[in-house]
Structure 1
Amino acid sequence: MTERPVALITGGTRGIGRAIAAELAADHHLLIGGRDPEGVRAACDEWPSAAPFVADLADERATADAAASVERLDVLVLNAGVAGSGRIEDLDRAQWREILELNLVSVADLTRLLLPRLRERSGQVIAINSGSGYTSHPGGGAYSASKFALRAFTDALREEERGAIRVTSIHPGRVDTDMQVDLQRQRGRDYDPADHLRAESVAATVRLAVDATADAMIEELSIRPVRSL
């Protein structure tokens, strides 16, 4: 068993999750979360100390089995999620359920399963939320609802576990990822990476929370692109 602190990053094979893995790799043993075993293994091969955490988090049994394999945990980065857009009049129950399942229910379930390991290490939960956790816009009701709910979840968890584990909610604005490219195209906008945050900038906020001294907890951080659309 490695003596490095252990960090589990869900959605750790690309985008923000990959940048967070790169940021923490120098001094953490990484558990790289993802659904595709080959993609997870390929990501693990890039870091000096890493192991796979393969599970479809929408699958309750698969999530429980993967969580049971975690023997030690210092940092849980809740990064995996799904984008979704559509006007209220166009979204059916199945679409609402998919977004809420992946962005909230699976997050809460995984956290519940790993709380004993985190408490043993006076660990941290860091949730990658969104600017949509504060506000919404036409076509973004379902996604924002999931992120508002995720903020409520982290607020409650922080108080329930105060003194046992630390809980941070990070709210990035637009980030230059494949997900953001798709979102902007759906909205009929031209895409310019310079209009967006780099994933590495979001990862730096995770590092800030991880490196906070034991007497301190960064409860919430908002990070936005300099440019506006």
Structure 2
Amino acid sequence: MRQVHVVTGAGSGIGQVIAQRLAERGDRLVLVARDEARAQELAARHPGSLTIAADLAHPGHLADAVAAADLPDRVDSLIHAAGIVRLGPVADLALDDWTRQLTVNLAAPAELTRLLLPRLRAARGQVLFINSGAGLSAHPDWSAYAASKHGLKALADALRGEERANGVRITSVYPGRTATPMQELVHRQEGRTYDPSKFIDPASVATAVLTALDLPRDAVISDVTVRPDL
């Protein structure tokens, strides 16, 4: 039986590679897109997939979007790969910079997880959070993003204990700097020249993700850090 995977952030970067790998092996995708136009684009890229049109910046709309999507009763995994970043010192970051990052990177994953837990429990499935090295340590100018990712680690750790009895596995993946459009944006914000060859290939992170998903049921990869080796 084909597995069903719900993926956010499947339009680019790590999420795009994960979605492609899962589709290539014959699994069924449910892709969360920010609007209907993006949903249609992803559906065309992955024939046979389902889509959920919902802007993660507005998690209050997720319940209606999930209800309208006619999802299967069982979901084998929920992969949170979407995220945003806005760098700057605490002295300069606007309230909106904090609010948007905490909403998209933390509150939206929490709400989407809550909504899909009955389906994940039915499948004894897995929730996988693409976190960041910033979720383990915070550096100057990274306060808001790191706070959202530290919060995501807390969400995963609490959820792991809560859902163990239900057979739902929880994994956090902490990539170092990876050659994605987000990394290009980070370099622009840092005022530095971007050279993707100096960073992790998104396919390497995707390999770690699929390893965690495919691990036999007698174990769980709870946390994995993927570092550059260049």
TM-score by length of 2: 0.93
CA deviation string 1:56-81 (max 9, x = no partner): 12323421022223233111001111
2:101 pairs with 99, 102, 109, which one?
99
Deviates more, 1:104-113 or 1:180-189: 180-189
Aligned with 1:161: secondary structure? helix
Residues 61 and 96 of structure 1, relative CA distance in 2, 3 Å threshold: closer
Report the Cα offset of residue 48 of structure 1. Answer: 4.9
Aligned with 2:185: secondary structure? helix
- CA–CA distance in 2 between the matches of 1:193 and 1:94? 29
Contact 2:179 2:201 in 1 (8 A): yes
CA deviation string 1:103-123 (max 9, x = no partner): 111111110111111001100
Report the Cα offset of residue 142 of structure 1. Answer: 0.7
**Matched residue type, 2:12:** R
TM-score by length of 1: 0.93
1:112 pairs with 100, 111, 114, which one?
114
Which segments of 5 or more consecutive residues in structure 2 lack a partner in the other structure? none
Contact 1:86 1:139 in 2 (8 A): yes
Deviates more, 1:194-203 or 1:165-174: 194-203
- CA–CA distance in 2 between the matches of 1:86 and 1:49? 41
Contact 1:13 1:33 in 2 (8 A): no
User: How big is the alpha-carbon RMSD for the aligned residues of Structure 1 and Structure 2?
Assistant: 1.4
- CA–CA distance in 2 between the matches of 1:197 and 1:129? 15
Q: Structure 1 residue 27 and structure 2 residue 26: aligned?
A: yes
- Overall identity of the aligned pairs, in %: 43
The aligned residue for residue 92 of structure 2 is: 90
Deviates more, 1:182-191 or 1:158-167: 182-191
The aligned residue for residue 195 of structure 1 is: 198
**Matched residue type, 2:45:** E
Aligned pairs, number:
225
Which segments of 5 or more consecutive residues in structure 1 lack a partner in the other structure? none
**Matched residue type, 2:145:** Y
- CA–CA distance in 2 between the matches of 1:94 and 1:183? 18
